[in-house]
C-alpha cells in the first residue's frame, strides 16, 4: 500500500481541499496521514472520515519582530518532528496544501528523498509554498498563476458542492421566498466584520432577499443591524448546506479566498468580491482581479464598501455579468478536478 503525508492544517482554505484529495487517494488504495496544527478543530472531521492525523505545534510566521523568537523555536521543533515522521512513516509522496505546515513537511520529505507536491490555490505562491519550492517540489495551481511554473489543475471542493439545485427549490428548502431574487452574503467561518456591518445599508432601494452567514456567534448582532436599517434578512451563524445557499443566490457577496473562489467556479455564481485587506501579500486582491478580468465578478476594496456596494448590487441583479464566462479560467469541471489532480500526484510517484 502506498502512503502519503498531507499538510492540510492552518485554515479551512487549505484543509478542505486536502481532505477531499486525501479521501480520493484513500479510495485508490493509499494510506493518508494528515498533518494539522495543534488543537485543530478539523481533527473531528478527519476522525469522521476515518483518516489518521498528526498534530504539529506550529503557528504562522509573525509579520513583525514580536513573537518571532517563539515562532523560531516552534519551527525548529516542527522541522525535526517532520524529519522523524517521514523516516518512520515511509511515505511515497508528500503533499503540501499551502499552509504554514507545508514547509516542515517539505523539509522532512526532502531529507528522506520523498517526492514533494505542492498545491497553490491562489494566483500567487504563498510564503510556505515559496519556501518549499527550494526543496525541488512540483507545483500544481488552483487558478491560473500570475507568474510561475507548474500545472493548473483547479482546487478540489467538497463533492456536495458539485451538484446544482434549481434556485426556487433551494430557496424553499432554506425557508426563503422561492420567487424573489436572492443575495447570499458570507465571510468565512469567523465572518467578516465589514460585510456584517455594511450589508444592511447597501440594501437601501434594492428589491431582493438576503441570506447572510455572519460567522460563529455573530448572527444576533448582525441581525440587529439589519433591523435598525429596516431590512428583512435571514441571518445565521453558519450553514452546512452551502450547495443550497449557492443555488438560491442570484449574486454572492464574499471575500476572495481561493477555496471560496473554487466554490463560486464550481457553482457558476457571479459575485461581489471584497478582498480581505490584511491577507498575506494581498493575495485575495490578486485572486479577485482574475475573476473581475474574465467578467464573473466585481471587486470592491473594503475601504470603498460603504459607497460602492449598493450600486454594484443593484447593477448585478440586472444580470450585467454572466456565469458562462467561467470557462475563460481554463479549469476542469468541478466534479473532475479532484480525480485529475490525484492522477497527477500518482504520476509523480510512478
**Grid coordinates belonging to 190:** 469567523
Residues 6 or more apart whose Cβ sits within 8 Å of residue 185:
195, 199, 210, 211, 212, 213, 252, 253, 254
Whether 168 and 198 map to the same domain: the answer is yes
C-alpha cell at 189: 467561518
Does this model's pTM top 0.85? My answer is yes
Does residue 1 sit in helix, strand or coil?
A: coil
Asked whether residue 173 falls in the same domain as residue 281, the answer is: yes
234 plus 324 within the same structural domain: yes
Residue scoring higher pLDDT (42 or 28): 28
Whether residue 21 is found in the same domain as residue 82: yes
Give residue-wise pLDDT tens across range 169-218.
999 999 999 999 999 999 977 778 999 999 999 999 999 999 999 999 99
Average pLDDT score over residue span 262-288 = 94
Pair 19, 94 in one domain? yes
Q: What is the pLDDT of residue 136?
A: 93
What CATH number does the domain containing 281 carry? 3.40.50.2000
pLDDT of residue 10: 61
Helices (H) and strands (E) in the chain, counts: 13, 13
> Does 339 share its domain with 295?
no
pLDDT at 321: 65
Q: What's the mean pLDDT in 260-271?
A: 94
Number of domains into which the chain is organized: 2
- 312 and 166, same domain (yes or no): yes
- Asked whether residue 131 carries a pLDDT value surpassing 80, the answer given is yes
> Which three cell numbers mark 308?
460602492
* Shared domain check, 342 and 324: no
Q: Show the domain range for 295.
A: 160-329
Instruction: Give buried/exposed letters for 157-172 (b at 16+ CB in 10 A, else e).
Output: bbeebbeebebeebbe
Q: In this structure, are 88 and 182 located in the same domain?
A: no
**Same-domain status, 268 and 250:** yes
The three cell numbers of residue 272 are 461581489
Amino acid at each position: 500500500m502506498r502512503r502519503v503525508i498531507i499538510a492540510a492544517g492552518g485554515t479551512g482554505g487549505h484543509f478542505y481541499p486536502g481532505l477531499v484529495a486525501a479521501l480520493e487517494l484513500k479510495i485508490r488504495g493509499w494510506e493518508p496521514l494528515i498533518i494539522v496544527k495543534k488543537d485543530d478543530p478539523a481533527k473531528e472531521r478527519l476522525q469522521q472520515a476515518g483518516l489518521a492525523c498528526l498534530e504539529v505545534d506550529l503557528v504562522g510566521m509573525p509579520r513583525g519582530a514580536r513573537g518571532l523568537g517563539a515562532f523560531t523555536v516552534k519551527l525548529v521543533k516542527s522541522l525535526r518532528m517532520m524529519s522523524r515522521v517521514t523516516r518512520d512513516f515511509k511515505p511515497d509522496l508528500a503533499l503540501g496544501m499551502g499552509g504554514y505546515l507545508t514547509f516542515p513537511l517539505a523539509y522532512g520529505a526532502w531529507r528522506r528523498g520523498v517526492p514533494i507536491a505542492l498545491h497553490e490555490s491562489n494566483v500567487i505562491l504563498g510564503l510556505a509554498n515559496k519556501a518549499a519550492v527550494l526543496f525541488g517540489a512540483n507545483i500544481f495551481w488552483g487558478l491560473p498563476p500570475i507568474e510561475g511554473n507548474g500545472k493548473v489543475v483547479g482546487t478540489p471542493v467538497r463533492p456536495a458542492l458539485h451538484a446544482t439545485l434549481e434556485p426556487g427549490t433551494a430557496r424553499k428548502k432554506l425557508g426563503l421566498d422561492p420567487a424573489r431574487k436572492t443575495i447570499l452574503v458570507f465571510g468565512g467561518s469567523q465572518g467578516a466584520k465589514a460585510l456584517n456591518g455594511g450589508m444592511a445599508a447597501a440594501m437601501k432601494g434594492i428589491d431582493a432577499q438576503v441570506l447572510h452567514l455572519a460567522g460563529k456567534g455573530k448572527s444576533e448582532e448582525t441581525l440587529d443591524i439589519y433591523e435598525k436599517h429596516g431590512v428583512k434578512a435571514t441571518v445565521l451563524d453558519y450553514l452546512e448546506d452551502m450547495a443550497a445557499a449557492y443555488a438560491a443566490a442570484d449574486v454572492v457577496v464574499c471575500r476572495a479566498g481561493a477555496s471560496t473562489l473554487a466554490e463560486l467556479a464550481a457553482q457558476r455564481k457571479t459575485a461581489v468580491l471584497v478582498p480581505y485587506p490584511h491577507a498575506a501579500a494581498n493575495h485575495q486582491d490578486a485572486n479577485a482581479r482574475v475573476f473581475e478580468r474574465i467578467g464573473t465578478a466585481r471587486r470592491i476594496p473594503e475601504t470603498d464598501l460603504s459607497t460602492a456596494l449598493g450600486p454594484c448590487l443593484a447593477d448585478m441583479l440586472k444580470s450585467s455579468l454572466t456565469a458562462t464566462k467561467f470557462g475563460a479560467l481554463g479549469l476542469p469541471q468541478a466534479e473532475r478536478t479532484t480525480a485529475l489532480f490525484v492522477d497527477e500526484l500518482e504520476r509523480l510517484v510512478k
